[in-house]
Structure 1
Amino acid sequence: MEEVRVVAIELGSRLRQVAGITVAVVALMLLQPHAARAAEDPGVPVPPNQLITDTGEGEVTAADRDFASRVRLAGLWEMPAGQMAQQKSDDPRIQQIGKDIAAQHAVLDQLVRAAAKKLDIELPNKPNADQQGWLGEMRAAQGKEFDQIFVDRLRAAHGKIFPAIATIRASTRNDTIRKLAQRTNQFVATHLTLLESSNLVDFSELPTAPPPTTAPAKTDTNAVLSANDTAAGQKPASPLTTPVVAVVVVAAFGVAFLVTRKMWPSSPRRRRRYYN
């Protein structure tokens, strides 16, 4: 009897170990897909600018030249506007936005001048009449009034050039202009975000986008998302459903049962131990 009790104790200990292993396996199988999907999520990608050549090859159109000119003009008035924000605003947030925009436009100005030199594009050297008027408004304002004018004027200007950048990026034949457009898009998107972080943008007053000329075709949203994931090299999400969880649990306990059977002494062996 003593030997039977020892065997029973050993089996109980082993069963507890197997149960613990089973629970761990099930937990890992349930959690691992979620962890894998989180690790695979790239977030918002940064355009790989280094993959675009910058040799000056390709036809330079009138639209390309106008685009380079507009990029240059943006810097000519937004750099002094950013400097005024640092001097005239009482709001530390506006001061920082002005500092960031002025510094980033200095970099963008170098890029557009380099592109223009390579492609023999003549650039303006002073802001246009509208831009000079906006700067005049800022010079005449102080405190909160200045803050509102600064944000309103810059947000409106960035909103106007945004679609122009997309048109050039998608249509230009010249690789230098293509790279400039892509980089400019990154600057403008950043500036829009900075200006909106001031909490002074009245989105209800922004221009309304024109309605589509034709009704868009009906699409299966799930199919489109799945196709986009596949095209981006990502595996479509496969959330665990209740049947899948049930199969995983049954399989795990099946493995545990087989392991237990192998560790459980056979009946003849128990009888020999008992009667010997």
Structure 2
Amino acid sequence: MRHRLGTLGQHAALFTALSVAFIGAVIGAVPANAQSTEVQPSDRSFMVSLRQANSWLVPVSKEAPTRTTNAGISNAGRDIFEAHSRLDVDLLKSAIDLGIVLPNDVSSEHQALINEMAERTGDNHDRAYATIVRQAQGGLLVMATQTRATTQNTSIRTLAHQTLQMLIRTMTVLENTGLVDPSALELVTAKAQVNAVRVIGQNIEPSDRELLVLLTQHSLWQKPVSRESSDRARDAKVRKVAGQLAAEHTQLVSAVTEAAGQIGVDLPVEPTTEQKSWANAISSSSGEELDRMYANLSRAANGSLIIQVAQARATTKSVPARIAAQTGLTLVLKHMLLLEGTGLVQANSLQMTDVPAAAQTKSNNSPPPQPDDSSTSIGFLTGIAVLVVAGAGTLWLVRAIGHHGEHRR
């Protein structure tokens, strides 16, 4: 099943949902960077899934250099082994601190996968390793992004952030081997075969077009409002963060423009109506109100966008779109961390709500509408289902690869 970005209309509706309910200081609201020990079921599921993935990625990657003569696979195996081993240490420490019990034993399915890979040699091994590991990491990327964007537990947020940074790098290392089959770019593989490394054509996927449009519109409102906030914000920390965001959006615009030129996508020249309303709200405020508005609206918008960019990064078959998604994912992740570091981001800015635009208000005396967790929960369950199904189907994928490898011989 192919995961794609939704329609532009759906994206606009989602951005509308990230309304100015996040505006203003809310009396009694918890800052996003305040220590939180509450663990949601979605947080626990993320940690369990990450532990299960590490349980087979670590041993399979450890053996990869000894089972190949391909320098790219050898380097990728060492890199992935070290990265997932370090991540597993931090994961177990966080679990102990939070009182979460994680599985210690490798599942029967994953043990069978480890055994299957141990029997492979040469090109048969290399293609199987590159394909199944890249597919597994794509599923982890989507789940980690969802957790990073919405969790209110600071320990788990740090773990998800670390996971994303690692995956952004190691996925690229695998892709650069040239042995990752396009089937690995589908988060759930129903029919997967590896015949050879197929040349991906230049046909424009709707999801690639929408990715570039979304990133462009995000910069069209974030860059000028960040530049303005760097001049007008009262808090020196906010001014510094806003200035950095404004400067780095130039890098994002450049990457997106280059990709659009290569694959033939016309980019918008204006942000959406909702984004204009956010920019106007920030521009019409001043002092502490401006600081709070800028930090919370920007963090909410970044949190929504990064989930969609992560899905595009995991699934796109277009190299130019992948490069743009990689740049967007790296920068948006960094910007979320910087905004949270201002100390002004409220916990409800980490959630997606169903508050209509008409309900938005700048008044500090009126409490914001309570967030509806349903969309967030659905997003988490979708990510979890993707990873579980992908993991369960991995063994089948390897067997399919093996059968084709045997037929080729």
TM class, shorter-length: 0.5 to 0.7
- Whole-angstrom distance in 2 between the partners of 1:220 and 1:196: 23
Contact 1:165–1:181 (Cα < 8 Å) also in 2: yes
- Whole-angstrom distance in 2 between the partners of 1:220 and 1:145: 38
- Whole-angstrom distance in 2 between the partners of 1:94 and 1:126: 27
1:197-216 matches, within 5 Å, as: 197-203=176-182, 206-207=185-186
Partner of 1:228 in structure 2?
Answer: 223
1:42-53 matches, within 5 Å, as: none
Give the C-alpha shift of residue 76 in structure 1: 1.5
* Residue 141 of structure 2 corresponds to residue 128 of structure 1: no
Partner of 2:407 in structure 1?
Answer: none
RMSD (Å), alpha carbons: 3.3
* Residue 153 of structure 2 corresponds to residue 174 of structure 1: yes
Return closer, same or farther for 1:121/1:54 CA change in 2, 3 Å cut-off.
farther
- Whole-angstrom distance in 1 between the partners of 2:40 and 2:55: 23
Give the gaps of 5 or more residues in structure 2. Answer: 1-30, 189-204, 227-244, 251-409
- Whole-angstrom distance in 2 between the partners of 1:70 and 1:223: 31
Return closer, same or farther for 1:221/1:199 CA change in 2, 3 Å cut-off.
closer
Deviations 1:172-219 (A, max 9, x none): 11110111110011111122111101101123663289988xx99x98
Partner of 2:43 in structure 1?
Answer: 64
1:86-97 matches, within 5 Å, as: 86-97=65-76
**Residue identity in the other structure for 1:119:** L
Partner of 1:105 in structure 2?
Answer: 84
Count the aligned residue pairs.
Answer: 183
- Whole-angstrom distance in 1 between the partners of 2:148 and 2:183: 29
Return closer, same or farther for 1:58/1:208 CA change in 2, 3 Å cut-off.
closer
Relative to the length of structure 2, the TM-score reads 0.40
Return closer, same or farther for 1:144/1:171 CA change in 2, 3 Å cut-off.
same
Partner of 1:74 in structure 2?
Answer: 53
Give the gaps of 5 or more residues in structure 1. Answer: 1-51, 238-276
Contact 2:61–2:78 (Cα < 8 Å) also in 1: yes
Contact 2:134–2:184 (Cα < 8 Å) also in 1: no
Contact 1:72–1:109 (Cα < 8 Å) also in 2: yes
Secondary structure of the corresponding residue to residue 90 of structure 1: coil
- Whole-angstrom distance in 2 between the partners of 1:143 and 1:235: 43
- Of structures 1 and 2, the larger Rg is shown by 1
- Whole-angstrom distance in 1 between the partners of 2:148 and 2:113: 28
Contact 1:226–1:236 (Cα < 8 Å) also in 2: no
Give the C-alpha shift of residue 68 in structure 1: 1.0
Secondary structure of the corresponding residue to residue 234 of structure 1: helix
Partner of 1:164 in structure 2?
Answer: 143
Aligned residues: percent identity?
Answer: 28
For residue 171 of structure 2, the aligned residue among 179, 188, 192 is 192
Contact 2:132–2:184 (Cα < 8 Å) also in 1: no
**Residue identity in the other structure for 1:227:** Q
Return closer, same or farther for 1:53/1:127 CA change in 2, 3 Å cut-off.
farther
- Whole-angstrom distance in 2 between the partners of 1:103 and 1:219: 35
**Residue identity in the other structure for 2:95:** A
- Whole-angstrom distance in 2 between the partners of 1:191 and 1:222: 29
**Residue identity in the other structure for 1:57:** S
Relative to the length of structure 1, the TM-score reads 0.58
Return closer, same or farther for 1:107/1:234 CA change in 2, 3 Å cut-off.
same
